[in-house]
Structure formats: structure tokens, C-alpha cells
A and B are shown apart, each in its own frame.
Chain A
Amino acid sequence: MSKLQLPNTKLFINNEWVESISGNKFKTFNPVNEELICEVSEGDKADVDKAVIAARNAFENGVWGTTMTAEDRGKTILKLADLIQDHKEKLAQLETMDCGKSIVSAREDIDFCVRVIRYFGGWADKIQGKTIPISSEFTSITKHEPIGVVALIVAWNYPLMLLCWKLGPALAAGCTIIAKSSEFTPLTALYLCDLIKEAGFPPGVFNLVSGLGSTVGNALSHHLDIDKISFTGSTVTGRKIMEGAAKSNLKPVTLELGGKSPNIFFADCDIEHCVNAAKDYVFSNNSQNCCFSSRFFVHESIHDAFLTLFTEKIKQIKVGNPYDESNHLGPLVSKQQFDRVLGYIEKGKSEGAKCHLGGSKHHHADGKGYFVQPTIFTNVTDNMTICKEEIFGPVVVILPFKTVDEVIKRANNTTYGLAAGIWTKDISLALNVSNKLKAGSVWINNYDNCLPQVPFGGFKQSGIGRDLSEYAIQSYLSIKAVTISHKTLHAQQN
């Protein structure tokens, strides 16, 4: 493992590094060897208050909210994209160390961050309202104004990428930000702060308060002077965020939550192609992916052939040190997650499912690290725990089905609705099924292919609102209608 220079670990407020008011710190660990990486300043409610004051001031009185042109806003955002590109390798190494994801996928994450930020930089001077024809006596316009001070809370599975997904549209819209990283993966967000300052964002536009959900997250969702909150994480926590928003000032809430997303393989699909594609996406990001497809519905006529081929491919997946570019699957992010996933595997076995492959801890090197074997369950019924609850680990359930109507019903039989995949050569079947699936993202003959221009988000309890695309910008705006009454020409005297 390379000796990496760590970023500043204080809080970042008004473009300055400051100690938390309490002086407390929390620890962040390397999930590969369970070793301590470093200590990070732990913020609390008082620090959040300070950050909000800075962000509010920047929005109401600073150049960002007043005189800076939309063009310059866009240029500053593009400059940030350039800087992230320049620092790609350092950021990727830091992300792998903090998070455990493979270095290959960390680099892909950073590439995606750059494209997302570039995409949103281009929106800054294009946020247009409407004029609406009423009658000759009125001129009616809508102004799309930045909503104000926004809180962005992100999860630990794509620490930098999720932050970029949210700060792109927030900055393009002209908002100011208080961000909270996950306490498990605080480092790349900290590194980003220096790039933000270098890009030329004025003080107070972007602030970072590291800390725990129960303190910092809670303070953000309850704050009376925050205009909007956007959260990516578990459904359980998402609920708390929404509650906090409701109890305080009714701030609008965007939530990107969990999923139990199905992939459906119809009888006419190209099995070889499907299985090869699945091998790439199924355990990506060490399976810690809100889009993780834990339910594979396979038509009964191809079930056995599919299972055989899929098992063969999954056996080829190498588990190990994420810095080794030949490894596909690294460790889970923390002991908590590790225990949780193993718990679900045991539940699966105890509820009567057949553990077809894997099913226990993967022994890596000296036994350290939160590694779990790629696991496949068969003989699963829809009401088993492993078929209903989000596991967030490398556990796939293979479910045979007979008819189209049946599989649609079963695929939709979940409180979640984040994503779905459809594999078939038949265009009518594909589009019919995609009409009926209750999922925010439906992929046909591909899966988990996120793009900056395409909206991402969930139906039902997978979330509210969208990240990415023009749709994301909407959530950082307030619509103001201005209607002017004026005389008609004939009423005009001179």
C-alpha cells in the first residue's frame, strides 16, 4: 500500500480549516487490514450552526448570491472538474484506503465525478423560466431562483461520487452548501475542500462538517435556516431526515435510499451475454451499491443453464486486496456491515434457502479485513428475509418464474423501487415490462449504467426526487411567478 498524504482533517467553513468547537475527533479505519488511518475532527450542532451562518451569508450577501455572473459560476464549476481530474490518482487511492473499493473502480468513480461536474457546470447559465400568455393586460413570468442554503448528506459507499452528484446541481443552481460525509469515509470529501478553494469558490459557498448522523445529520435536518436537504443512505435514516425536516421548517427533502432491485431474464435472452454482463455489474463496488441487484428472476426454461453458467462465472471472481487490479471484490466497509451481511446469510440458511455458492467469510491474507465470499442462494421463496430486505453485501438470490405477468408482480412486490433490469431480444416485451415495473431506473439489456445526463432515483420507499440530469437541478430551485398588470395600448394616453 502506498504512503499517501492525508488531507486536512478539520472542519471546512468559509474556506478555512477550523477545529470543531468541542475538540472531539472520530476515527476512520482501513477495511482491508482493519487498521486506523487517522482521526478526523468531529462536528456537532454548534459547528453546524456556524456553517449555516457562513453559507447563509455567502448566499444573501456574498458575490456568489449577488453579483457573480451565471457564466462565472459555470466556469468555476468547470475549474473544479479540471482539478478533480488533475488529482484523480490521489483521490482514487484515498477512496480505496478509506472505503475498500477496488482501485480500478475508485478511478472509474473519479472519472465519473469529473463528467458529472462538467455536465452541471454547463447548466449554470441555462436555468430558464417561462413567460405565459394570459391576456393583453397581463405579462406573467416565472423566475427559477436558487432555493438558498442546502444540506447535502452522503453515504459511505461512493463517498466522493455521491457528493459530486449533489454539489453539481446545487452549485449550478446558485445555492450554498453544508455537506456531511459519512463518518466511515470522510477523507475524499476533506480533500475536495482544498480543490473547491483552489477553483475559486467564494468563502461560505461550500462548507464541510464531518461527524455522526445522530449529531451532525440530525442538526442539519432540524435546522431552521436550511432551505433544503438532500440525502443518500439507508431508508431507515432517510425517514429520520424527513421527520426532522417536517418537525423543523418543512424544508423540501430529496432522498436516495435503498433498493431490492430485480433483474429479469426472459426465455429468449442471450444467456452467455447476460451472464458475462452480470459478472461485471453484480458485485461492483463490493456489492455496496444501492442499485445492487439481489433478485435475479430467470425464466424456468433457462433457469438451470443460467445458474450453471452464472455460478461458473462467479467462481472466477477474485476476492482480495483492492489495490491489486486483478481483484474484483474487496472488503466491506466496516465491521458493522460485515456482521450484518453474515447475519443475513445465516438467516437465509435458517429459513430454508439453499446456499448454492459461498456463504461465509472469505479468508484473506492474515485473516484480517471485512471480506465475504460471493454468495448465491437458490430454492428461495419470495417471503424469505433474504428476498425482501436489503443486504448490502455480495448475496444474490436466483428465482425461477413462469409468466410475464407473474414476474412483473413479483418484481414489484417490494416496498422499494429503485432500479430494474430487463433482458430480452423482444422490443415489445421489453417496453411493456418496463412500463409496468415500478422502478426509477429501468435498464434494458444493460444494468446500472449511470450517466450524468440521465435522472437517477427511486419509486416508493427507494426515495423522493432525482439526482443527476436536468431533473436534479429542479430540486435546488424555487419557482417565483411574477404577474404584471399593465394597460393595453388603447388605454394609453401619451
Chain B
Amino acid sequence: MITLNYDNNKKSISIPTKIFINNEWVDSIDGNENFSLINPTNEECLGIIGLGGRKDVDRAVEAARSAMRGKWSTMAPLDRGILLNKLADKLEEKREEMATIESINVGKPIGESFVYDLKQSITFLRYFAGWADKITGRTIPISSSPDTSTPTRQVLAYTKQVPLGVCALILPWNFPLQLLMFKLAPALAAGNTVIIKPSEFTPLSTFYLAQLIKEVGFPAGVVNIVCGLGSVVGDAMSSHMKINKIGFTGSTKVGKMVQNSATNSNLKHCSLELGGKSPIIIFNDVENLDLVVIHSFHGLFWNAGQCCSAASRIYVQSEIYDQYVEKIKKQVELRVLGDPLNKDTHQGPQVNKNQFESILRYIEIGKREGATLVCGGKRFGNKGYYIEPTVFSNVTDVMTIAREEIFGPVMSILKFDTVQEVIDRANDSEFGLVGAVFTKDINKSIIVSDQVQSGLVWVNSFNIIDPSIPWGGFKSSGKGRDASEYCLSVWTETKTTVLDVKL
């Protein structure tokens, strides 16, 4: 159990931290490591959790498989949807507690976690609750006759979208609850059972959610949680012979390992939401440059730059380039770094020491390779993993900071001249997660958004994220989609039945 005290110790939240299987909290069988959760704001220990091991994963799989044969599989889909809606209601009731947990554990400002992370989490649940009884297949009039005596009308062919079965969800530390909901909501709506591995750095919101799941009345074994190291628990899940699918959000490097293990074990289904080096393209003809500055600023600095969709390459057309850099600098000056639980804080610390050191290294590389440091460029304060919002201009495509994912508050601004040029440069990346185009022109808005090789492109906006809109990347940014009706196809399988009903 970990207890978080906040609001001058006037309030506290208790969170169980064991293995969650069959709606019960149990001790690990073979996890032999204790792990210290560090508060990134002050580098102090929040508490110690016991990590799970491979046998815990086995046990969770058995529970999830058993649940697939029980009430969960015979329940009317509408009733599955009712449970998901009830979970959304519970989350709404506990919104403050959940947002506080997220802010303390991750270091993200309470303004963002309460307003944004929790809103998305609740909305995702409600959106997918509505899909549960609407996952239809088709009846198909076959094109040609199977033999000379059977008229096509006497062959009934139909498809059903059936649940995959036991699904493993591996989540990262940057939006622990929200990214869990991206996968959990559709997985359950489609009738699967799940085993969740939250990041060992940020498991608290997932543990807290487990209690709500039990209270709402999900049958035992439908949702299970084993927190542990990627190399142990993550590996056990991706190579498990009895898990039907793995949904992973994290780095491209680890995503490749997950897919490899998935393939070499039982060819389990695999959907991946990975990294990015996403471009924003700003044309001369934008109506309101100040608005563009605000969109693109948040596009990079949101969550202290810890977003797979961070706008980490900003291409600005030459005529407005200098003006843009000046305006960005002014925005940085308004940014307040501080205690995440303070409502006025805009930016909290980076999530942990590793990330903190990595980002500072990239900043040094940026300086060394000749980019112009506009502002920031170093640690903020002397306690907690804070980094000043950092802006580099005169960045060129070959620089490391323009090619590798930094995952921190480091903006790179690049100059361009023509449409064809900027499209080619934007696409010159192994990644393809998101993109954005800012222009007044109807032609450029459609052509450029079509041509940028990203899974999602915003036009004259950024960060419009909604459960109804498909989310996912091209190229090394991943495969499969989260959110929207489209993601249902990665949480179900098409079963075709063909009946010859000739009399």
C-alpha cells in the first residue's frame, strides 16, 4: 500500500500496490525485486512496490482465459457497455483523486491532469461503451457459384467480429491513465479480457483504477494487473503462448522487441503506438501568427515535451521565420515551472532521472552541432528533474536534435522556402506519427496534409484528440490504430461462416 498526502497533508489517498488478479490483490509469486517510486518533483521516495514476475503473468493469463469462458462471454454486449459507462461514472466521481495521483507520480501539472488526462480517460470509456453492442459483421452475397448446382442465393456467407481473447496491454509513463484507456476501453467493449502492465515508474493511477473496476462489477478475471520490468513482465507477456494479442505504447526500440517476441512465440496480434519526430509546417499566408505560435508552442511543450506526438520539428516559411522565433521566445518567458500540484504551474519536472539526463545530453549535442540556442538550455532549479523550456533555431535536417526523439522540452525551428521542399524534408524521417499544417489556402491545406506521411495531420490546429478520431502512426511510429471505430478491428477478429443451404 502507498499513501499519498497532499494539500498540506489535509488530504490523503491510499493505493494498493500488489498484483491484481481475479479482482483480488495478491502477493507476487516470483517477483523478487522491490522498486522505489521516486517523486520527480523533489527526488524523494513515494514508496516501495514489489515488482511482478513471470509466474504472476502466467497466473494472470489463466484468470483472464477463465473469464473468457464465464459470464463475460455470455453477457449481452449492451450490458458490457453499461459496465463501461458505470466505470466512467466512477472515474468522474474520483476525478480529483485520480488527477492528483497522476500529477504526483508523473510530475504533470494538476491543471493538465484534471482537465485533460481525466477528461480524455472518461470520454474514451463512454465512447467505447456505446460501441459494445454495435460491432457488426456483414452478410455477403457471394459473387460466383461454388458449383453448377448451387445458386448463389443458396449460400449464406456472413462475418462476425469476435473478441481476440486475452489481451496484454503494456503502457508507458507519460500519460499512464489516458493511454491505458485508449486500449482498455475498446478491448473490453469488444469482449476481450486483459492483463495490464503499467510502467514501473508510474503504476499508481492504474492500481487505483483497479479498485473502481472491482466496485463497478466487472466479473473477476476480466481485468488483471501485473506491474514489473519490461525485460521480465513485458517480455513474459509478449512471448506468452496463451496471450492472443499485445497492445503496446512506448518507444520504437522496445516496440520492435515486442513485435519480435510476439512473432517468435505464437504470432499473437500486435498493435504498436511508438515514437515520433513530428513536423509542423507553417506557411507565410497564415491569418493569425499569434494563434499559430500558441498551437505550436503547446504542440512541443505539452507534458514537458513528453509526448509521442510532440511537434519536435517546426518548419517555418522564410518570410515569417524571424518573427515566429521572436514570438516563441516571448511565449517561453510566460511559462511557469513549479510544483505540479499548484494550479498555476505550466510545466513540471521530467518523469525521472534517466529522462532528465538524456534530455540534457541532447541539449549539449544541439549546442555542439551548431544550432542557435534561443533560450533555456539547462536545468531549472536545484531540486527535482526540471529542465528550462529550451528553443533552438537555425536547426538543419541533418542535426541530431532534428532526427532523434528527445522526449523533452526542446523545440527545434527550421526554415523552408517551397511546398515541395518542405514536404520532402518533413517526410525525411523514419517516423510518421502526427503532423500539422498551418495555412489559409484551401489547396495547400489539402495537398500538404495528404502528402505528409503521418497517421494524423492537423490543419490549422494541434492536439485535437478525441476518442472518435483514429490515432496512430505511419512507418516506425507504429501500426494499427487506437481510438475510433477503426481500432475495433485490432481488438476483434473476423470470423467468416459460409453455409450451403441448398435443399
Interface membership of A217, Cβ < 8 A: no
A428 touching B133 in the complex, CB below 8 Å, given contacts A125-B468, A435-B153, A492-B444: no
**In chain A between 461 and 494, which residues have their CB closer than 8 angstroms to a CB of chain B?**
470, 484, 486-489, 492-494
Report the minimal beta-carbon distance from A294 to chain B, rounded to whole angstroms.
Answer: 28
**In chain B between 124 and 182, which residues have their CB closer than 8 angstroms to a CB of chain A?**
126-127, 129-134, 136, 153-154, 156
Q: Which residue of A lies closest to B81 (CB)?
A: A122
A428 touching B501 in the complex, CB below 8 Å, given contacts A115-B78, A122-B131, A453-B133: yes
Report the minimal beta-carbon distance from A328 to chain B, rounded to whole angstroms.
Answer: 26
User: Which of B130, B417, B446, B447 has a CB less than 8 Å from the CB of A125?
Assistant: B130
Contact between A428 and B503, CB atoms less than 8 A apart:
yes
Contact between B503 and A125, CB atoms less than 8 A apart:
no
Tally A-B pairs: CB < 8 A.
86
Interface size class of B (residues with CB under 8 A): 35 or more
Chain B contact residues: helix, strand, loop or mixed: helix
Q: Which residue of A lies closest to B155 (CB)?
A: A431
Interface membership of A351, Cβ < 8 A: no
Interface membership of B196, Cβ < 8 A: no
**In chain A between 73 and 125, which residues have their CB closer than 8 angstroms to a CB of chain B?**
74-75, 78, 115, 118-119, 121-125
Interface membership of B451, Cβ < 8 A: yes
Residue from B442, B444, B499, B501 whose CB has the most chain A CB atoms within 10 Å: B501
Q: Count the A residues whose beta carbon is within 8 Å of the partner chain — how many?
A: 34
Contact between B82 and A118, CB atoms less than 8 A apart:
yes
**In chain B between 419 and 436, which residues have their CB closer than 8 angstroms to a CB of chain A?**
419-420, 423
Residues of A within 8 A of B153 (CB): 435
Q: Which residue of B lies closest to A123 (CB)?
A: B130
Contact between A429 and B130, CB atoms less than 8 A apart:
no
User: Which of B126, B418, B420, B443 has a CB less than 8 Å from the CB of A486?
Assistant: B443
Interface membership of B502, Cβ < 8 A: yes
Residues of A within 8 A of B450 (CB): 139
Interface membership of B58, Cβ < 8 A: no
Contact between A122 and B130, CB atoms less than 8 A apart:
yes
Contact between A74 and B126, CB atoms less than 8 A apart:
yes
- What is the 8 Å Cβ interface bit string for chain A, positions 140-184, against chain B (1 contact, 0 not)? 000000000000000000000000000000000000000000000
Contact between A431 and B499, CB atoms less than 8 A apart:
yes
Residues of B within 8 A of A121 (CB): 130
Contact between A489 and B134, CB atoms less than 8 A apart:
no
User: Which of A123, A431, A435 has a CB less than 8 Å from the CB of B134?
Assistant: A123
User: Which of B81, B419, B501 has a CB less than 8 Å from the CB of A489?
Assistant: B419
Report the minimal beta-carbon distance from B449 to chain A, rounded to whole angstroms.
Answer: 10
Contact between A492 and B443, CB atoms less than 8 A apart:
yes
Interface membership of B85, Cβ < 8 A: yes
A-B contact pairs, 7 of them (CB 8 A): A119-B78, A122-B130, A126-B131, A139-B450, A432-B154, A488-B447, A494-B419
Task: Known A-B contacts: A74-B130, A139-B446, A487-B447. Give 14 more (CB < 8 A).
Answer: A118-B78, A122-B81, A122-B130, A122-B131, A126-B130, A126-B134, A139-B450, A428-B501, A435-B501, A453-B78, A470-B136, A489-B447, A492-B419, A494-B418
Name B residues whose Cβ lies closer than 8 Å to a Cβ of A: 78, 81-82, 85, 123, 126-127, 129-134, 136, 153-154, 156, 417-420, 423, 442-444, 446-447, 450-451, 468, 485, 499-503
Q: Which 7 residue pairs across A and B have the least CB separation, nearest first?
A: A122-B130, A431-B501, A428-B501, A486-B443, A486-B446, A487-B443, A492-B419
